[in-house]
């Protein structure tokens, strides 16, 4: 019997895509069972009304029973979010290729055309875009929350296409150039970080979410060799080292949600609202990618440190829990096991200690929820409809 998709609450277009559509498409690639492909398409069709805006930039939330969509009330005057609109391309492009229906790729190609045509302050992409006017919202730029996976998907769209999508690679290279020009900083103690920027002022804060960028910049440098590759690989190593330091400078050896750089402290959380750890994967993700690219033993050593810390502080009778303050020897627990702990954190740890041939970076790209999608032209499991 066909079960209908009729939850009564609004769904996040972004989360539904990366978790459900991405996960189902991975299952289809690995098994060839068209049931997974068809379920992915069934869900994607339910998301399409969110794209019916004046610009084609999708809303963040959709009620898939009624088709009504909207943006978060807090998001800069009704804006959509850069990371959310930019983190649809891998799944939607692949879905078009495996179903033969061009509508999904057309939707994400249109998003790219809109944002490519816009003027960018200092060459940077603000975190908010208005789906009615096609103009940027407040000028807040970040490699962490609200920005992060937009950059990741530019690089990975190029990789997924078998390096045919030159537009995506050019947009990635340009974006990273301006991020590193305006937002990359080195602390007095020698730690390299990508600062947030608000209204042309650096905030000297880096989110745990932004720690994926070490692996991303390394992957970008490794996959297209040019006169910048050596410098970018050095930056990737330095950012990943800083993220490790954010773990190492806590009592639990697990990193905070965000960490700051001031005259008094480096790579430490200042606010109580930033001292928690919710089993996030981004630091481990960079360890995994940098290990695969460089074979430097420190990345496996750091990964093992994290394993031991998670086992010591987060393992409980019913699974694993987040921590409310990583700077306490015996921190209070939040009693929540986030779904990305299984999808990403444990997966990246497993891959970190696996042979390179297991889900090779030459044959797979990992979506931002760590669901591997095959690379066109080199992976026979791409299963394109022809």
Q: Catalytic site residues?
A: 257
| Cα–Cα dist 259/187, whole Å | 13
| Alpha helix stretches (DSSP H) within the chain | 13-15, 22-31, 34-47, 82-85, 89-99, 103-117, 148-160, 166-182, 213-223, 229-248, 282-294, 297-313, 339-340, 346-352
CA distance readout (Å), 129 to 4, 15, 55, 118, 225: 33, 18, 10, 10, 33
| Cα–Cα dist 82/133, whole Å | 15
Q: What's the angle, vertex CA 87, arms to CA 246 and CA 192, rounded to 5?
A: 25
| Cα–Cα dist 63/73, whole Å | 16
Asked if residues 237 and 287 have their Cβ atoms less than 8 Å apart, the reply is: no
Among all chains, which residue has been given the structure tokens 């983190």? 87
């Amino acid at each position: 019997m066909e079960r209908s998709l009729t939850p009564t609450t609004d769904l996040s277009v972004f989360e539904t895509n990366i978790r459900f559509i991405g996960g189902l498409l991975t299952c289809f690639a690995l098994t060839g069972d068209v049931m997974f492909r068809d379920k992915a398409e069934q869900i994607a069709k339910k998301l399409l009304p969110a794209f019916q805006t004046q610009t084609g930039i999708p809303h963040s939330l959709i009620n898939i029973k009624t088709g009504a969509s909207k943006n978060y009330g807090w998001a800069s005057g009704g804006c959509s979010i850069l990371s959310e609109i930019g983190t649809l391309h891998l799944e939607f492009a692949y879905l078009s290729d495996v179903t033969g229906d061009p509508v999904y790729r057309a939707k994400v190609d249109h998003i790219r055309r809109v944002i490519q045509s816009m003027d960018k302050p200092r060459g940077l992409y603000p975190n908010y875009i208005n789906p009615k006017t096609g103009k940027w919202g407040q000028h807040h730029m970040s490699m962490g929350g609200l920005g992060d996976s937009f950059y990741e998907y530019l690089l990975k769209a190029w990789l997924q296409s078998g390096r045919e999508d030159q537009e995506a690679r050019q947009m990635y290279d340009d974006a990273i150039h301006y991020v590193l020009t305006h937002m990359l900083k080195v602390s007095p103690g020698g730690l390299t970080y990508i600062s947030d920027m608000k209204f042309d002022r650096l905030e000297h804060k880096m989110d745990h979410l932004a720690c994926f960028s070490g692996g991303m910049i390394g992957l970008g440098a490794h996959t297209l060799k040019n006169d910048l590759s050596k410098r970018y690989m050095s930056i990737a190593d330095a950012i990943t080292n800083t993220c490790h330091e954010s773990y190492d400078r806590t009592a639990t050896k697990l990193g905070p949600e965000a960490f700051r750089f001031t005259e008094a402290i480096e790579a430490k959380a200042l606010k109580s609202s930033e001292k928690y750890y919710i089993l996030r994967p981004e630091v481990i993700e960079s360890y995994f990618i940098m290990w695969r690219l460089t074979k430097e033993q420190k990345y496996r050593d750091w990964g093992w440190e994290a394993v031991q810390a998670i086992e010591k502080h987060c393992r409980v009778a019913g699974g694993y829990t987040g921590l409310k303050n990583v700077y306490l020897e015996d921190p209070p627990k939040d009693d929540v096991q986030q779904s990305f702990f299984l999808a990403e954190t444990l997966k990246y740890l497993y891959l970190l200690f696996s042979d390179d041939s297991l889900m090779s970076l030459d044959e797979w790209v990992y979506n931002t929820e760590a669901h591997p999608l095959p690379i066109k032209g080199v992976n026979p499991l791409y299963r394109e409809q022809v």
